[in-house]
A and B are shown apart, each in its own frame.
Chain A
Amino acid sequence: MKASSPSTDEKFQIGMLLSDTRYRGTSLQVITFIIFVAVFFWLVDNTLKNLALLGKDVSFNFLFLRAGYDINQRLIPYSSDSTHGRAAVVGILNTLLVAFVGCVIATILGLFVGILRLSKNWLVAKLMSAYIEGFRNVPVLLWIVMVFALLTEFTPAPKAFKGADPQATMLFFDSVAITNRGTYFPAPILNEGAYWVIFIFILSVFAVIFLKRYADKLKRETGKDFPTFLVSIAILIFPSTILFFALGSPISLEYPYLKGFNFKDGIHLRNSFLALTLALALYTSAFIAEIVRAGIMAISKGQTEAASSLGLRPNKIMNLIILPQALRIIVPPLISNYLNLTKNSSLAIAVGYMDVRGTLGGITLNQTGRELESMLLLMGFYLCVSLLISSVINYYNRSFQIVVR
C-alpha cells in the first residue's frame, strides 16, 4: 500500500476492488486469468470427451509408422517405406526451400520494380504500377494456379524434344531443357580436388569482405576511394580459376539428356516448385516494391538537396544518404513480407507441391486420421518459423531505430 495515498484511512469495502484504481488493475487481472484458465480447461475437457466418444486417443506414434506414399521432390533420401515423421521433415525442407528462393527472387524483383516505379520514364512507371496493382489486388491462390497453368500449357512436353526433327530444342548448347514437367539444368559433378577449388573460392569471398572493410576504413580515415569493385572481381575469379585448371578441371557438369519418357540426370526443377516459387515471388514483390518506393519517398527532398549542395553525385547521394536512411524504414516491413511469403507457401497443395502442409498436414493427416496431432505439429512448425523471423525484426528495430524518448 502506498502510504502517500490520500484515502488510506478509508475503510476497505468489497466494491473498491472494482471502483478503486489502486485495486482495479489487480482484480481485473485476476478475473481475466481465472476466465482464461477456465476457458482453457473447458476446451481441453471438451476435446478429451469428444476424442473418447470417437474412440480415439492422442498419440504421436503415427510419426514412426510406414508412410506408404511417394514424394517427388525430396532434399533428403525418402521412399514410400520411410516413416510419416520423415515425410514431415521432407515437407518442412520443401517449405523452407520455396520460402528461401521465393524471398530472394521477391526481393530482387521488388527492388527493381520499386525503383523503376519512380522512374521519370512515363511508360515504365505506368507499366510498373500496373504490375504492382495487378499482383497486389488478385488473390495469391489465383496467381499460383494461373502461373502453374501457364508453365504447363505454354512449354513443350519432353516428347517434343524427340526425333530427328524435334519441335523443341534445348537451350544454351543443349544444357538446359525447359519442359512442362519442369526445367532441367546441368548438375555439377565434384571429382577429386573439387573441394580444394571450393575451399579457395570461399577463402576469396572472405578476402573480398575484408577488402570492403579495409576500403571503408581507408575512406573514413583518408577520404580516398579504393577501387573495391574491380579488385573484388579479380579476387573472386582468378585464384579459383587458376586452381581449377591447375588441378585438371575437377568439377564437371552433368548434362540432362532425354531417355525413355523423361529427361535424365542434371538438376530437375519441377513445375510445381517453379510455379509456386514464381507466383509467391511475383505476388510478394509487388508488396516489396511498394515498401521500397515508400521508403525512398519518405526520405525528405531536403536530404537529397542538402547532399547535392555538398557536391555529391547522384549515385553517391543514393548510396550514402538516401538508402541508409530508407533501409531503416524498408527492412522491418520487408521481413514481415518474408513471413507472409512463408505462410502463403502453405497453398502449395493447389499445384501439388509437397510442402509440409501437403505431407504432414495433407496426406499423412488423411491416411492416419490423426487430425489433432498433425495440426498441432503443423502449427508448431509455422509458429517457430514466424517467431524466429519476428525476433529478427525486433532485433533490427532495437539496433537501428532512432531512439525518440
Chain B
Amino acid sequence: MRKSLFMILSSIILIVGGQAAFSGGHSVTLDDVKARGNLLCGVSTGAPGFATVDDSGKDVGFDVDYCRALAAAIFGDPMAVKFVGLTSAVRFTALAAGEVDILARNTTWTYSRDTDLKQTFLGVNYYDGQGFMVKKDLGVNSTLELDGATVCIQVGTTTELNLADYFKENGMSYEPVPTADNAESQQQYLAGACDTYTTDASALHGTRVNLENPDDHLVLPEIISKEPLGPLVRHGDDNWADIGRWVLNALIIAEEKGITQANIDSWKDTKDAEIHRLLGTGDDDILAMVGLPKNAMYNAIKAGGNYGEIFENNLGATSGINIERGVNASWTKGGILYSPPFR
C-alpha cells in the first residue's frame, strides 16, 4: 500500500531515505544518489562567490562547482545535481535528516561539529580566518585599537564565538550588531551603523573590492581565528565520505600537476603514473574500490576545471571578487593546499 500511495503523490513527495547508513565497502548514500539520478547538495542561500544564483537562474559559486565536480564524478554529468539553499541555522539538521547528500556551505571544520553534531568533514577546500574591515578615516590600523567599537556580525556562525573570545582575551569591550546575512552586514557597515564588520577574511576582501570606493576601506592585518571551510557528510557512511574527499583531492592534485579543463585530453601519453591513475587512462581501475567509474575524476576535472580554475572563476580575478590565493595556493606555489597522493 505504501508504495502505491507514494506513487500517487510521487509528483510531490521525494523519498530520500536511508540515513541509516553503515560503514563498509558499500555506500548506501551512493546507491541512493545513483537510484535518484542526481546529487542533492546543500549550499548557502547567498554567499558572494561561494553560492548564489545568477540573472538567468543558474546556481554559481565555489561550493556549487565542487558539487558539480562530484556529480560529474558519479554520473559523468555535472548538471546531475540539485542545489538546496540552506541558511546557517538549518544546514546541519538538513544534512542529518538526509535532505541533502553533502553539505558544501562554507562551513568551518571544528571539533564539536565533527564529533558532537555527528558529521564527517571531507577536507578543507578553503583556508579562511576571521578578519575585520574598517573605514580608513576611522584611523584604526590594528584590531587591538577597536576597544569600545560597534561590530557588525552575522548571527549563527562561529565568528560570534571567536569575536567574544578575542575581545575578552584582550580586555576590550565591544557592542555586537547582529545581522541576518552578509548583504545586511554590508549595508549596516556602509551606513556607519557599526565601526567594523567582521567575518571570514575571504568575504571581507570580496565585499571590499565591490564597494563604491574600495580604497576608503581597509581589512585589518590580524586574523583572529582559523576557519578551515570544507564540505561535510553524515557520520557513518565512510565510503561516501571517501568519494567526496577524493573528488576534492583530485581537483587539488590536478592543479598541482597542471591538468586543466582545456588540456585534460592531452595527458594521455604522459609518463606520470599518478595522472594515469587519476584520469583513468592507465590499466588499473582503482576507483572501482569506492564504486565510481574509471574515468570519474577525469569527468570531475573536466566539469569545472581544477581547483585553481574553480577558484579563479568564482573567487579570483575573473569573478570580479579578486581574492588572492594566499595560503590557498598549492603547496608547490607557497600555499598550504596539499593533497595526499592518489595511489
Contact = CB atoms under 8 A, between A and B. Distances in A.
Interface of A: 53-56, 68-72, 80, 149, 152-153, 156-160, 180-181, 259-262, 271-272, 349-352, 354, 358, 362-363, 365-367, 369, 371
A259 B174 CA distance: 13
B195 interface: yes
B188 interface: yes
A260 B193 contact: no
Nearest to A352: B178
B207 interface: no
Given A68-B164, A349-B155, A358 B178 contact: yes
Q: By DSSP majority rule, is chain B's interface helix, strand, loop, or mixed?
A: mixed
A69 B160 contact: yes
B45 interface: no
Interface residues of B, number: 39
Contact of A362 (B96, B155, B195, B235): B155
A180 B155 CA distance: 20
A366 B164 contact: no
B180 interface: yes
Interface stretch (B62-70, B145-153, B304-312): B145-153
B192 A149 contact: no
A80 to B, nearest CB: 4
A100 B223 CA distance: 42
B148 A349 contact: no
A181 B164 CA distance: 20
29 contacts: A54-B118, A55-B235, A70-B163, A70-B174, A149-B187, A156-B192, A157-B191, A157-B193, A158-B192, A181-B177, A181-B193, A260-B147, A260-B148, A261-B148, A261-B195, A262-B148, A262-B175, A271-B193, A272-B178, A349-B180, A351-B180, A352-B180, A358-B178, A362-B155, A363-B155, A366-B88, A366-B156, A369-B92, A369-B116
A367 B161 contact: yes
Interface string B90-115: 00110010000000000000000000
B92 A363 contact: no
Given A54-B96, A362-B156, A180 B161 contact: no
Given A55-B118, A152-B191, A157-B191, A69 B161 contact: yes
A390 B194 CA distance: 41
Given A181-B177, A358-B155, 8 more contacts: A69-B160, A262-B149, A349-B155, A349-B180, A351-B180, A354-B178, A363-B155, A369-B117
Given A358-B155, A362-B156, A68 B187 contact: no
A220 to B, nearest CB: 56
Contacts of A156: 192
B5 interface: no
A354 B177 CA distance: 10
B164 A365 contact: no
Contacts of B20: 53
B63 to A, nearest CB: 19
B85 interface: no
Contact of B93 (A55, A363, A371): A371
B107 to A, nearest CB: 12
A70 B159 CA distance: 11
Contacts of B195: 261-262
B161 to A, nearest CB: 5
Contacts of B163: 70
A69 B92 contact: no
B19 interface: yes
Contacts of A260: 147-149
B89 interface: yes
B187 A152 contact: yes
Given A180-B191, A181-B193, A261-B150, A72 B117 contact: no
B225 to A, nearest CB: 13
A58 to B, nearest CB: 15
A74 B118 CA distance: 33
Contacts of A351: 180
A157 B178 contact: no
A267 to B, nearest CB: 14
Contacts of A354: 178
A159 B134 CA distance: 13
Question: 8 nearest interchain CB pairs?
Answer: A157-B192, A352-B178, A80-B164, A152-B191, A180-B193, A366-B156, A260-B148, A69-B160
B177 A80 contact: no
Interface string B218-234: 00000000000000000
A180 B189 CA distance: 10
A366 B86 CA distance: 13
A366 B113 CA distance: 11
Contacts of A363: 155-156, 160
A150 to B, nearest CB: 11
A371 B95 CA distance: 14
Contacts of A157: 191-193
Nearest to B154: A352
A159 B117 CA distance: 43
B291 interface: no
A54 B164 CA distance: 30
B254 to A, nearest CB: 35
Contacts of B148: 259-262
A352 B164 contact: no
Nearest to A182: B193
Nearest to A268: B175
Given A72-B177, A180-B192, A80 B93 contact: no
Interface-centre pick from B20, B176, B188 (highest chain A CB count, 10 A):
B188
A157 B149 CA distance: 13
Contacts of B118: 54-56
Contacts of B149: 260-262
Given A80-B168, A369-B117, A352 B160 contact: no
A365 B188 CA distance: 25
Contacts of B165: 68, 80
Contacts of A159: 138, 192
Contacts of A160: 192
Contacts of A369: 92, 116-117
Contacts of A367: 161
A71 B163 CA distance: 12
Interface string B112-128: 00001110000000000
Nearest to B192: A157
Interface string B290-301: 000000000000
